[in-house]
Amino acid sequence: MADRIHVLPDHVANQIAAGEVVQRPASVVKELLENAIDAGAGKIELIVKDGGKALIRVVDDGCGMSEGDAGLCFRRHATSKISGAEDLFRIATKGFRGEALASISAIAQVELITRQEGDELACHVRIAGDEIQAREAAVAPVGTSISVKNLFFNIPARRNFLKSDKVEFRHVLEEFQRVALAHPGISFKLVHNENEIHNLPGAKLRQRIGHLFGSRMDNRLVPVSEETQIAIISGFICKPEFAKKSRGEQYFFVNDRFIKSPYLHHAVMTAFEGLLKAEMYPGYFLFLQVPPHTLDVNIHPTKTEVKFEDEQSLYAILRSAIKHSLGQFNVRPVLDFDHDNNLETPYAFKDRQAQAPKVSVDRNFNPFTDPVSGGGLARKASRETAGWEALYEGLGAQPVGEPQPEGIEIPSGAPEETLLEGSHLQGQDLKGVFQLGRKYIVTRIKSGLLLIDQTRAHQRVLYEQFLENITRKEPVVQTLIFPLKLRFTPAEMHVLEALTDALEGMGFRFGEFGDESLEIIGLPALVPEGEAPGVLDGLIAGWQQHEGEQGFSQGDRMAKALCRQLAIKAGTPMEPAAQLALVNDLFGSREPGLSPFQKPIHTTLTLEELDQKLNPNG
């Protein structure tokens, strides 16, 4: 029988490897930017077209390559960073395995122009699908320019999995921000479709954060600094009052390399414990410097997941450093047993002169004489206590042993049936409505009790209202007398620009769009003006989290995101009239049994079930 095992050709092996290294245009951006940094570049320019699908070009002023290296760099596992296995435990560069350029050239058309100091001419190499098409001399400055065109041109199935240009560029922007934050001393420039997005001069970290995320960030940052034998921690955290519902502005860097670490993120959240509202996340830009031999970065092709030798100690040090910063800068309350706040002079009285107290005395006062009627003290007391019986009037009307339901007040003399008059519960004989635990609405029906989850019920009602507005394209809009001006990061602005049509279909009206600001001149009738910033923040967070979902229209996803933001939350008290209105609206909807997120809204508790619970043995 013939042998079955054979060695794959190089171009097939490279395409398989490319699937691990290159997932989308942002993956190429990350590899090329890191190569430029390893080359010692002081200025790096990134040019992108069509979200990176058509072109990704990185130009740097680094050391460049010789003619021999220019041809060898596209071969798999060709690297100048390591020479032996022991070098893996003292890595100080970004790339080291020699897979990036080989993988990229296997699934794209690549053009490389590079010259090193001392060479008269540059080397120009063109390669496509892992095959060198041209190699010639050229005129170019010292440094490297590498262009990647038509990503996945020879793998149509992979190219079809790419998202829209806006989505892909958002991922490119995220990678650009990560690299730019890790190296604030290097100048970076980003151009997309001939539009300059960022032009960042070399600066300190705090300035770089402001350049990337807006000048508003400067007042939100609290410095963090801690030096131990295990690690050196530096960077910034955002003040708790600026926490957001999205996790966008959260960055960990270890030895100037961006990483993702749920374990260290938990340390940060623990340090903020008690200072954040539910489902809110703080921003942070934290840098850890650890000895290279205590860090393993070779566990994932993208090198965003790492292993630490002593994670528990890092956890404790990081949490302690953040807590110390929050207390040191008066963000977190600090107990001082040597200081009594009650003895402090209020600021308004600081410079005020002391005044002697004045006492007025009525020398003609006689406690045994009524100055109005001339009667005695007994007559005055009798007049003041008259009518005390009215305080207890009506208490006897309440039958003993029938306490009122929690959270509801029934007017005296009003028949109980009027509370649910006009209900849409398909003609069932409802006798009352009340709120249980500030979470459920309970109604009495013929067969027992009906329990309704108030949050899910309100989500269903709002969801159908928003969908109806989108379908009719005539939403009810409340025009603002004074426009709202809100500030967002460039990445958040890209999300809002992509969602503009869907938001306008729901009733939002926008004025001017800036690089970091947005003007709102109208809101949907269901959105209170004071909640508009939080609603948009939640929409951005939800969209970024679920942007990969398939099978749902943009309007449907926006309606779900809005109803999630605006629905009545558990723990919110509701007046009886509001409870009744919600019940009527729910059973007037198309699908009252399920929330927009396919969760049950209500359930019944029948008399038979109650009898069974109270008399399990019959």
Say if residue 500 is in the same domain as residue 450: yes
- Angle ∠(591,595,600) on CA atoms, nearest 5: 95
pLDDT single digits (tens) 194-232: 988 899 999 999 999 988 887 778 888 999 999 999 999
Separation of CA 442 from chain center: 35
> For residues 151 and 50, is the Cβ–Cβ distance under 8 A?
no
Determine the 3-state secondary structure of 370 from DSSP.
coil
CATH number at residue 241: 3.30.230.10
Q: What is the pLDDT of residue 513?
A: 78
Domain boundary among the residues 200, 229, 247 is at 200
Residue 484 domain-assigned?
yes
How would you label 510-547 residue by residue, b for 16+ Cβ within 10 Å and e otherwise? beeeeeeebebbbbbebbeeeebeebbbbbbbbbbeee
User: What's the CA angle centered on 320, arms 90 and 304, to 5 degrees?
Assistant: 40
Task: Give domain status of residue 348, yes or no.
Answer: no
3-state secondary structure of 36: helix
Q: Is the dihedral of CA 452, 458, 459, 463 positive or negative?
A: positive
Q: Answer yes or no: is pLDDT of 285 > 50.
A: yes
- Which is more confident, 8 or 120? 120
Regarding whether 241 and 191 lie in a shared domain, the answer is no
Mean pLDDT of 446-472: 87
Q: Are residues 225 and 182 in the same domain?
A: no
Q: Do 578 and 502 share a domain, yes or no?
A: yes
Structure-token match 């007046």, residue found? 575
Q: Higher-confidence residue: 368 or 152?
A: 152
Same domain, 244 and 192: no
The CATH number assigned to the domain holding 52 equals: 3.30.565.10
How much of the chain is in helix, strand and coil states, percent to nearest 5? 35, 20, 40
Residue 437 placed within a domain: yes
The whole-number pLDDT of residue 360 equals 73
Q: Write down the pLDDT at residue 413.
A: 35
In a domain, 354, yes or no: no
Assess if residue 491 is contained within a domain: yes
574 in Cβ contact with 537 (< 8 Å): no
Per-residue pLDDT of 374-391, as tens digits, reads 544 444 444 444 554 544
Residue 47 has pLDDT above 90, yes or no: yes
**Domains in the chain: how many in total?**
3
User: Residue 596 and residue 567: Cα distance in Å, rounded?
Assistant: 12
What value does the mean pLDDT take over residues 363-368? Answer: 73
Based on the number of CB atoms within 10 Å of its own CB, is 579 exposed (0-12), middle (13-18) or buried (19 or more)? buried
Coil, helix or strand for 618? coil
Of 311, 328, 345, which one is at a domain's C-terminal end?
328
Do 273 and 237 reside in the same domain of the chain? yes
Q: Residue 156 corresponds to which tokens in the numbers above? A: 């149509």
Q: Kindly report, residue by residue over 79-134, the tens digit of the pLDDT.
A: 766 655 555 555 666 655 557 888 888 889 999 999 999 899 999 999 988 788 88
Going by C-beta distance under 8 Å and a sequence separation of 6 or more, which residues neighbour residue 24?
A: 52, 162, 163, 168, 171
Both 158 and 229 in one domain: the answer is no
What is the 3-state secondary structure of 475-520?
A: CCEEEEEEEEEEECCHHHHHHHHHCHHHHHHHCCEEEEECCCEEEE
* Cβ atoms 216, 69 nearer than 8 A: no
Residue 602 within a domain: yes
Check whether 507 has a pLDDT greater than 90.
no
Bridge partners (DSSP) of residue 189 are 45, 199
How far, rounded to the nearest angstrom, does the alpha carbon of residue 432 sit from its chain's CA centroid?
A: 41
Q: Do residues 135 and 196 share a domain? A: yes
Q: What is the C-alpha end-to-end distance of the chain, expressed in Å?
A: 75
Under 8 Å between Cβ of 176 and 190: yes
Is the pLDDT score of 412 beyond 80? Answer: no
> What is the chain's mean pLDDT, rounded?
79
Taking a C-beta distance cutoff of 8 angstroms, is the pair 521, 509 a contact?
A: yes
Q: Are 23 and 166 in contact (CB under 8 A)?
A: no
| Predicted pLDDT of residue 214 | 79
For residue 597, the domain's CATH number is 3.30.1370.100
Same domain, 426 and 561: yes
Tell whether 217 and 182 lie within a shared domain: no
What are the pLDDT digits (tens) for 464-495?
A: 988 887 777 777 888 888 888 888 777 778 77
Within a domain: residue 166? yes
The whole domain housing 268 covers 205-328
Which residue type occupies 193?
N
- Beta sheet of 284-289, edge-to-edge order: 221-227, 232-238, 284-289, 250-254, 257-259
- 257 inside domain: yes
Please state, in angstroms and rounded to a whole number, the distance separating the CA atoms of residues 318 and 234: 10
**Do 457 and 603 fall into the same domain?**
yes
Mean pLDDT of 26-54: 93
213 in the same domain as 157: no
| Assigned token pair, 596 | 């927009």
Averaged over 351-359, what is the pLDDT? Answer: 71
Last residue of a domain, one of 328, 356, 376: 328
